[in-house]
Structure 1
Amino acid sequence: MNQNDPINFTISLHKNIETIKDHLNNTTELVVRTIRIGKPKPLEVSLIYLDDLVNADVIRDFLITPLFLFQDIKEIGKEPLIDYLATRHIRASSVEIVTSFEDALNGIVRGRTLILVDGYNNGIIAETTQWQQRSVAPSIRERSTNGPMIGLSEQLKVNLNLIRSYIQSPDLCVESKQIGRFAKTDLAIVYLKNKVDKLALEEVQTRIENLDVEYVIEPRVVEDALEGRKKPFFPLVYNTEMPDITANALYEGRIAIIMNGSPVASIAPTLFVHYLSQPTEYYSKIGRFSNRLILLFCIFLTVYLPGIYLAVANFHSNWFPVKFAKKYFTHSDTILSFPLEIGILIFVLYLMSLAAFRIPTDLIVVASLVGTMVVSTTLVDSKLVHSLSLIIVGITFLTGLLFISGGLISTLNTLRIIFSIVGCFFGLTTMGICFLLFFIYMSRLRSVGVPYLAPIIPFRPQEFKDVFYRGDLKKLLNSPHKFPHDDKE
């Protein structure tokens, strides 16, 4: 609002209505329903709302009809009229008495109805919202073979309802926030009171409070705030669309941040080992001891395999039998050099992955067929790339897809390019040095104050029961869990 605009309501009903219309730019969706109630001298009452955001039946049954039942103004006594109407006549699920235009406007744009009475400088905001939303459906991006199928939706209230269906405890706390100066967006910080890491919670609350932006549409803005000013190379916030994964994180003492308009819950603190555990493990006996080790090996393949291949081709082909080295390395009959082969294949597969998300669903099959013909047939048969190069890049592409959930895949793809360049020009020794440097870098990262490589660094053997293998579920559920902090070490 401008500095010259009135801040609070006046006693003139018509002036208040005109001010609200001006601030809403005289939009045609704004409805002003005026009625007269009481006697002997009827009071003029206006209900103000945005037509496309409200439930007309609620307004009729819980606001207008009860107001018409108001008979004699003398029955109020000494109680203020607005308080009397709010407590004894308005039947909405939620009511709030407001005195400022800012509070009133914020309520109206959220689908609530403002009730103003001529001659009074305050009003009532009543809950009448009816948002258009899709029904609860399975998550498209995340799946579990034996676990729940339902995913989060774009409505904050629906998501909180889903989480409460998993955690039916009075300890479940929901802190409601609004972020954005130009347009405010509802946000919820969700945690379990007796299990949450207090230091991490304070850090999350502080970073959310300090988030100063014009508006928010994507949860990436909130994730950036949680990750800190120095943008880390690795994701420090875990994203999920599954309410059961969110509930498990809350039981572990972590915090979930859910934003209205997004079907994603951002979970912090997030550790590197969290990307090794998959929800299927907790619903199935299969893979209890092997899944996480296989995923750790897949991370190694995604990041290092192309670099090792280039390093061996350029510097260490003598490690292999002469016949093998001659066929695949020293006397390759392909036109392009090994670095160009790897670069082209990575680029083509990256284009295919982008096309899968950007083109219409009906054309995905066509794009896949075209991409398959280009990669598997054309490039190899035309002697542009070697078949072994195609196998190497194909393996790294498939292993990288395992980490789409959570947001680690972008980091792994970038690291793959970096180590490919290092391996191509400097060999395996330099790759090993770079590995140590990245390991040191990861050990210095903090996710809302918690070391990123915990419980490996700092070493906490009591926490290894759910790191590289899934321990006994009964013991996992009953054992206490604490996150390390630098000031506690």
Structure 2
Amino acid sequence: MTDTEPKTLQKQLDQNLAIIKQRFHHTTDLKIRDIQAAHLKASIIYIDGLIDSKRLQESVIRPVLHMTPVERELVDYVATQVIEAPDTSTAYEFQELSSGLVEGKAVLLFEGYAKAILTDIAEWKERSLEKPISERAPRGPIIGLTEKASTNINLLRGMIKTPDFCVDTQQVGILAKTNVSILYLSGVVDQQVLQFVQKRLNHLNVKYVTESRIVEEALEFSKSIFPLSQTSERPDSIASSLYEGRVAVIVDGTPRAVIIPSLFTDNLQTPDEYHTRYGRLTNRIIRFIGLLLSIYIPAIFVALCNFHQNELPETFAKVLIPKGVLLNPFFEMVLLIFIFRTMIDIAFRLPQSLVILISLVGTITIGDSLVKVKLTHPFALVSVAITFMLTFLVLNKLVAAITTLRFSFLLIGAFLDFTGIIVGTTLVIIYMAQLKSAGVPYLSPLIPCKPKELKDTLIRGDLKKLLNSEHSYLREDNG
């Protein structure tokens, strides 16, 4: 748009068409269909590929071609009584027309009228509903979100059948507008959390939004290795969070919802736990122990090798610290962690047909070769393998925190022994205790302790009591 270009529509049809073509830089998929509406010349404008051609023909073109001349205001008459589409509006400015066209609307202009009709006949391409990829579960619904926000909201409305389910959609972006929808249950949602989300999104000033991570960073407010917001592609998990008084944010084009507030104990939960009796007392405790071991095993191994060789039983010491290995325990751990981390990264990016082959070649060939050339020994290899296996218990949620803490404690264990590990753990707990998600303490309901909320933390309590309980959050306005 140039400074000399008019902002409002003109009465000359050709002038309006020229301005619209200029705004879209004469792109070839901008289509203009000239028609005769009663006694006036008219044009229908749309972007090819975004609209449903059949609906355009049946709801707009055919009724307008068969309309009879009227004495009253033509544009309002056509919009209210001629066009047969459910979503029709009028506009006076070129900016409204441009926004409507890129959203899949058809624009109808008449000669002699500085007013346009916008009709929503969009036909967006989207994939069919599929199983969640990153949140697989043996029990529960098997439908995941798609890239289309309206489809995702439709899925949630199918689960949350109440008029209290509210959707607040706003457009974010300067260069290109993207629909961002705030979802919550009126009367259930924590009002201060809702106000926090609305305030943060209102102040989100970016050129464009292509990924929900941009919204996540805005809602997390402060930088941390721990996730201060959580994402989910499962409608049942999102619905459960809304029932608990949380807020979900869906970005059009992203098959995930951002849920806030996010608490540490959320990382120990899985969706299938609410669909089965098995493991409600042990599953989360096992994951918590696995989380700790995936962080501390390398540090404990190095600390034992460096500071406690003489204190270990002779048989155990021979297995733990064999002679003739080229690398000392610290660099041995660093090398193995680097190799395992690289193999995981490769497995995620290779074609699926090659994943099994590369995994077998990598684990057998590289592992066997490292032992034979005396760069490492079997016990260290097994320790790192167990470490990474346990990481997969909570990999999708805490991968950044686990990776950072694992290497940090590895350094501490190599130079400061178990005393340093204990001090470091204390500092991490203090650090986590001061973290807040939307003003809610990250370690809540453990720190500060809320006994009534503990029934759904390290154990999963009785479902009837969980469903009927009222959730509340200790929060602090951090703006």
TM tier relative to shorter chain: over 0.9
Report whether the alignment pairs 1:347 with 2:344. Answer: no
Deviations 1:182-233 (A, max 9, x none): 11111111111111111001000110111111111111111110011x3122
8 Å CA contact 2:291, 2:393 repeated in 1: no
TM norm structure 2 = 0.97
Matched, 1:391 2:382: yes
What letter matches 1:367 in structure 2? Answer: I
Q: 1:110 aligns with which of 95, 103, 116?
A: 103
Shift of 1:3: 2.7
Counterpart of 1:104 in 2: which secondary structure?
A: helix
Structure 1 counterpart of 2:411: 421
Alpha-carbon offset, residue 487 of structure 1: 6.5
Q: Among 160, 169, 179, which residue is 2:153 paired with? A: 160
Q: Which of residues 67, 73, 82 is equivalent to 2:75?
A: 82
Describe the SS at the equivalent of 1:186. Answer: strand
Seen in structure 2, the aligned counterparts of structure 1 residues 377 and 13 have a Cα distance that, compared at 3 Å, is same
Question: Is residue 304 from structure 1 mapped to residue 296 from structure 2 by the alignment?
Answer: yes
Do the aligned partners of 1:256 and 1:265 also contact (CA within 8 Å) in 2? yes
Find the aligned partners of 2:300 and 2:366 in 1 and give their Cα distance: 22
- State the match for 2:242 in structure 1: 250
**Aligned-pair CA distance for 1:51:** 0.8
Confirm or deny: 8 A CA contact 2:147 2:254 kept in the other structure: yes
- Which residue does 1:144 correspond to in 2? 137
Q: Partner letter of residue 359 of structure 1?
A: L
User: 1:227-242 maps to which residues of 2 (within 5 A)?
Assistant: 227-228=220-221, 230-242=222-234
From the superposition, tell whether residues 353 and 90 of structure 1 become closer, same or farther in structure 2 (CA, over 3 Å): same
Alpha carbons 2:89, 2:118 under 8 Å: kept: yes
Structure 1 counterpart of 2:224, which letter?
Answer: P
Following the alignment from structure 1 to structure 2, what is the Cα–Cα distance between the partners of residues 82 and 345?
72
CA distance in structure 1 between the aligned counterparts of 2:175 and 2:252, rounded to whole angstroms: 16
In percent, how many aligned pairs have the same letter? 40
From 255, 259, 269, the equivalent of 1:263 is 255
Does residue 455 (structure 1) correspond to residue 456 (structure 2)? The answer is no
What's 1:323 paired with?
315
**SS of aligned partner of 1:267:** strand
Counterpart of 1:54 in structure 2 is 51
Per mean C-alpha deviation after superposition, the further-off stretch among 232-241 and 354-363 is 354-363
Runs (5+) with no aligned partner, structure 2: none
Higher mean Cα deviation, 410-419 or 357-366? 357-366
Classify 1:319/1:94 alpha carbon distance in 2 versus 1 (closer, same or farther; 3 Å). farther
Query: One-letter code of the match for 1:93?
Result: P
Residue 3 (structure 1) aligns with: 3
* Matched position secondary structure for 2:99: helix
Q: Is the 8 A contact 1:45 1:116 kept in 2?
A: yes
Matches within 5 A, 1:129-208: 129-208=122-201
Provide the rounded CA distance (Å) in 2 between the counterparts of 1:259 and 1:108. 20
Contact 2:225–2:404, Cα closer than 8 Å, also in 1: no
Aligned mate of 1:100, from 89, 93, 98: 93
Asked if residue 69 in structure 1 is aligned to residue 66 in structure 2, the reply is yes
What SS does the aligned partner of 1:48 have? strand
Q: Secondary structure at the match of 1:298?
A: helix
Q: Distance in 1 between matches of 2:439 and 2:88?
A: 39
Aligned equivalent of 2:31: 31
Aligned to 2:356: 365
Helix, strand or coil at the partner of 1:390: helix
- C-alpha distance in 1 between matches for 2:445 and 2:360: 44
- SS in structure 1 opposite 2:248? strand
Q: For structure 1, which runs of at least 5 residues remain unmatched after alignment?
A: none
Stretch deviating more after TM superposition (309-318 or 249-258): 309-318
Output the CA distance in 2 between the equivalents of 1:257 and 1:431: 38
Q: Say whether residues 1:281 and 2:278 are aligned partners.
A: no
- Does the 8 A contact of 2:438 with 2:475 survive in 1? no
CA distance, structure 1, for counterparts of residue 64 and residue 190 of structure 2 = 48
The aligned amino acid for 2:238 is T
- Residue 469 of structure 1 is matched in structure 2 by 459
Q: Aligned residue for 1:381? A: 372
Partner of 1:334: 325
CA gap of 1:130–1:487, structure 2 versus 1, over 3 A, is: closer
Let me know the Cα RMSD of the aligned residues.
1.4
Alpha-carbon separation, structure 2, partners of 1:177 and 1:249: 21
- Would you say 1:123 and 2:116 are equivalent positions? yes
C-alpha deviations, 1:267-287, integer Å up to 9, x for none? 100000001111111011111
- Asked if 1 retains the 8 angstrom alpha-carbon contact of 2:303 and 2:418, the reply is yes
Could you list the per-position Cα deviations for residues 240-283 of structure 1 after superposition, in whole angstroms to 9, with x for gaps in the alignment? 11111111111111111111111111110000000111111101
* Conserved 8 A contact 2:225-2:400: no
- Say how many residue pairs are matched: 478
- Alpha-carbon distance between aligned partners in 1 of 2:376 and 2:289, rounded to the nearest angstrom: 26
- What amino acid is the match of 2:180? L
Counterpart AA for 1:439 = I
What is the deviation of 1:70?
1.6
1:9-53 Cα offsets, whole Å, 9 max, x none, are: 111111111111011110110110111112xxx111211000111
| Equivalent residues of 1:345, 1:375 under 8 A apart | no
Is this contact kept in 1: 2:433–2:442, CA < 8 A? yes
Task: Say whether the 8 Å CA contact 1:403–1:409 is kept in structure 2.
Answer: yes
Cα displacement (A) at 1:440: 0.8
Q: Which segment drifts farther, 353-362 or 48-57?
A: 353-362
Distance 2:477 2:194 in 1: 15
Give deviations 1:301-337, integer Å, cap 9, x for gaps: 11111111111111123342123213422x4332221
1:217 to 191, 210, 222: 210
Task: Find the residue that maps to 1:385 and give its secondary structure.
Answer: coil
In the alignment, residue 100 of structure 1 is paired with which amino acid? E
Contact 2:238–2:257 (CA under 8 A) maintained in structure 1:
yes
